[in-house]
């Protein structure tokens, strides 16, 4: 389904959990059961036109350069010069301002669908860079911790911005991710604006040890090391106050047996990693604590492995 004769394609791009506690802006994993669908069609006029935005976040900018998917397609177009324009329809499955990588998924879906229309499709790494240009519209900074897992699937580490290196990290099969979205809006730009620009040396040491320990634990299936390393001492303490009941939700998850619990992306969603046997109890504890804050929730329990973004038949 690629090449000059394809004139219309639809892609599904999954939601994602960014940062994964200790990997601020560089580590994320995909949530395959939630995502955006993006349809891109070839049009004779140059440029990018957004013809429809539907679903749970229909109120997004229609001007291509102000829209994450539109901006990603403009970046792709400028680099590949296909000789035709694109029209774009976005079906949002991921709520806006949820911390579940919605802006990233729209950008990823757009470039994956558009790639199927190019006479010479580009590599996945190039698609990552176009999508990063798109997501910067929403968060105010270029980072790939949502883009890369949405595009590649699973748990993904991205090293570098201008010349990114992407590594899919194996996750022990027994682990499940519990993701809970409280029904409130938190703008990524706001959650970034409150962050201090410098880090204490002792926190730097602790955080780098935890990131190294977490990734080593994943590769060696060392659950004890994953549990011991699952603590963000830099970003989470600064953002916790933005999420009603954060401490109680986290404590509830840990007491129910989670390996770790933190903020999903910029929040307000939270996630925990746990063994499959504890997943139901961890989920119940997290939802109960959000309910005590009068916050209704959506939730997902997923394996941390998935196919990432892919072409689909329209309507699926």
| Size of site (CB under 6 A) for ligand HSE | 13
d(CA 32, CA 123): 22
Task: Tell me which stretch binds ligand HSE (CB under 6 A): 139-147, 162-170, 201-209, 282-290.
Answer: 139-147
Q: Which is nearer to ligand HSE, 19 or 274 (CB)?
A: 19
Question: In this chain, which of 226, 266, 302, 309 binds ligand HSE, going by CB under 6 A?
Answer: 266
Task: Tell me which stretch binds ligand HSE (CB under 6 A): 2-10, 60-68, 137-145, 172-180.
Answer: 137-145
Residue 36, interface with ligand HSE (CB under 6 A)?
A: no
Q: Pick from 177, 154, 179, 185: which is nearest to 56 by CA?
A: 185
Whether residue 254 contacts residue 264, with contact meaning beta carbons closer than 8 Å, is answered with: no
Q: How far is the CB of 138 from ligand HSE (least distance, A)?
A: 7
Question: In this chain, which of 98, 139, 150, 278 binds ligand HSE, going by CB under 6 A?
Answer: 139
Q: How far is the CB of 202 from ligand HSE (least distance, A)?
A: 22
**β-strand partners of 48:** 86
d(CA 215, CA 203): 18
Residue 265, interface with ligand HSE (CB under 6 A)?
A: yes
Q: How far is the CB of 126 from ligand HSE (least distance, A)?
A: 21
Q: How far is the CB of 13 from ligand HSE (least distance, A)?
A: 15
Beta strands in the chain (DSSP E): 8-18, 27-43, 48-55, 85-92, 155-159, 165-169, 175-182, 260-263, 270-275, 297-303, 310-312
Residue 143, interface with ligand HSE (CB under 6 A)?
A: yes
Q: How many residues does the chain have?
A: 316
Please report, in angstroms and rounded to a whole number, the separation of the first and last CA atoms in the chain.
16
Residue 39, interface with ligand HSE (CB under 6 A)?
A: no
d(CA 165, CA 188): 24
Task: Summarize as ranges the residues that interact with ligand HSE (CB under 6 A).
Answer: 18-19, 24-25, 139, 143, 145-146, 188, 191-192, 265-266
């Amino acid at each position: 389904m690629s090449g000059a004769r394809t004139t219309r394609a639809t892609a599904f791009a999954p939601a994602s959990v960014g940062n994964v506690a200790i990997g601020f802006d560089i580590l994320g994993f995909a949530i395959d059961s939630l995502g955006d669908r993006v349809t891109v069609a070839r049009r004779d006029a140059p440029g990018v036109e957004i013809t429809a935005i539907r679903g749970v976040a229909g109120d997004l900018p229609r001007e291509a350069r102000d829209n994450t998917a539109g901006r990603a397609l403009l970046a792709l177009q400028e680099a590949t010069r296909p000789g035709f324009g694109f029209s774009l329809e976005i079906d949002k499955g991921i709520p806006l301002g949820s911390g579940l990588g919605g802006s990233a998924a729209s950008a990823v879906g757009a470039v994956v669908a558009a790639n199927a229309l190019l006479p010479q499709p580009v590599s996945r790494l190039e698609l990552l860079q176009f999508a990063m240009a798109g997501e910067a519209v929403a968060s105010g900074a270029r980072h790939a911790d949502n883009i890369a897992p949405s595009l590649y699937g699973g748990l993904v580490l991205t090293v570098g911005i201008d010349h990114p290196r992407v590594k899919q990290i194996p996750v022990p099969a027994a682990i499940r991710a519990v993701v809970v979205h409280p029904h409130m809006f938190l703008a990524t730009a706001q959650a970034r604006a409150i962050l201090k620009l410098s880090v204490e040396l002792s926190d730097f040491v602790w955080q780098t040890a935890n990131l190294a320990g977490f990734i080593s634990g994943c590769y060696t299936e060392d659950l004890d090391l994953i549990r011991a390393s699952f603590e963000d001492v830099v970003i989470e303490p600064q953002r916790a106050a933005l999420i009603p009941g954060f401490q109680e939700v986290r404590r509830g998850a840990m007491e129910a047996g989670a390996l770790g619990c933190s903020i999903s992306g910029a929040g307000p969603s939270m996630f925990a990693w746990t063994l499959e046997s504890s997943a139901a109890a961890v989920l119940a504890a997290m939802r109960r604590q959000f309910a005590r804050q009068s916050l209704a929730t959506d939730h997902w329990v997923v394996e941390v492995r998935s196919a990432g973004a892919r072409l689909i038949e329209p309507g699926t």
